[in-house]
Amino acid sequence: MKRIGHRYIDCETGNTIDTWFPKSNRRIERSCLAQKVGIIRSDFVEVELESYSSTPLSTEDAYLRLHLLSECEVRPNEINLEGIFGLLPNIAWTTAGPVFPSKVEELRELIVNEDYQLGVPSIDKFPRMTDYVVPQGVRIADADRVRLGAHLSPGTTVMHEGFVNFNAGTLGESMIEGRVTPGVIVGKNSDVGAGASIMGTLSGGGKQVNSIGERSLLGANAGIGISLGDECIVEAGLYVTAGTKVKAPDGSVVSARELSGESGLLFRRNSQTGAVEAIPTDSSRWGGLNSNLHSND
């Protein structure tokens, strides 16, 4: 695979700042005030990706892989992102263009005659996805909360408090009101409730890849350190880690990791004993997604 990208470069150091790869693979040039006043310059670069399993070798290579994820050309965990943090520079994502953080004061001074109020929405290695890729059939209430490299399938709705990191996302119509962290996949017709969280592969350096199956609900302010199968529910406010002791449907008490990935389970805390229980259930218990909310064309 070969893609043509438009690259911003720091004029003083010659280091790459970012690279945008138009999905059309055409030579489309960007412009910004930071380039106009000479802090950054731009050119076109062609990047060839021979294999999804190969290790990224450059900033440009890393940006292409993040684009492929956000374009839904590859699913999370299907492309090698090893060492990506070391390849992505920390950038001040200003309203006048991306620059290294040390250049913000200089930029502010150089554009003083432009009658322009400079804003710095973030300082981070990852930019907003929507500045590079705008997926189809998706609603995002607050674009600052979705990083480039997020994988959002058509029918996904990300509400204001929802957050989707790179190498994570959805496989179909989904409601995201909580945090979807790296490596996590949310199945079709599932709901990540407000304030809910899913442990990803960066949580404490963990390697366990967690996911949520289809037609499942992670309740408000709940969390999981295990995978949920299809038609599962975690009640609001309950955090189920891999080591949480759970009373299984057969009456035995097991660590939650032993139930990871199983379908048709409701995880709840017994209101009288405080014990965490897993009982049989299906999606009819919570009613499923409202289809009208996910018709995003």
How many Å separate Cα 295 from the centre of its chain? 21
d(CA 156, CA 175): 6
Pairing of strands 163-164, 150-151: unpaired
Q: Which of 29, 50, 73, 177 is catalytic?
A: 177
82 is catalytic: no
User: How far is CA 166 from each of CA 19, 151, 185, 212, 239, rounded to the nearest angstrom?
Assistant: 16, 8, 11, 17, 23
What token pair was written down for 80?
């090698």
Burial profile 248-279: b = 16 or more Cβ within 10 angstroms, e = fewer: beeeeeeebbebbebbbbbbbeeeeeeebbbe
CB atoms within 10 A of CB 284: 9
Which residues are catalytic, by number?
177
